[in-house]
Structure 1
């Protein structure tokens, strides 16, 4: 799934994102609005991931959709 589709379907995907990364708050997800770079930053902050690992996890999540 490319980033345009990810952003466009954000409201539908938000619940799945919350299940996958439970440390993210509802506020985090509301602000993210499907922007993968912001989401990657929050994954780095909440889970202590590197930028590359956070982006890799988001890409893997997208592939599974």
Structure 2
């Protein structure tokens, strides 16, 4: 997914991230705004899941847009 599409759909993407990772704060999500790899790293550190599992979750979310 290209950067423009991520930015354009950021509000919806944030909502989906919160559905899957309820422990995330708005600040956690905003720190990774639009940067896929940074988002994956932040999620992995916050929730303690395997990087591949987090990457699949993020890719599934982004594929919907």
TM-score, with length taken from structure 2: 0.73
Which 4+ runs in 1 deviate beyond 3 A? none
Count how many residue pairs are aligned between Structure 1 and Structure 2: 64
- In the other structure, the counterpart of 1:41 is 41
Output the aligned Cα RMSD. 1.8
TM-score, with length taken from structure 1: 0.73
For the structure 1 residues 18 and 8, does the alpha-carbon distance in structure 2 shift closer, same or farther, using more than 3 Å as the test?
same
Gaps of 5+ in 1: none
**Shift, 1:11, TM fit:** 3.1
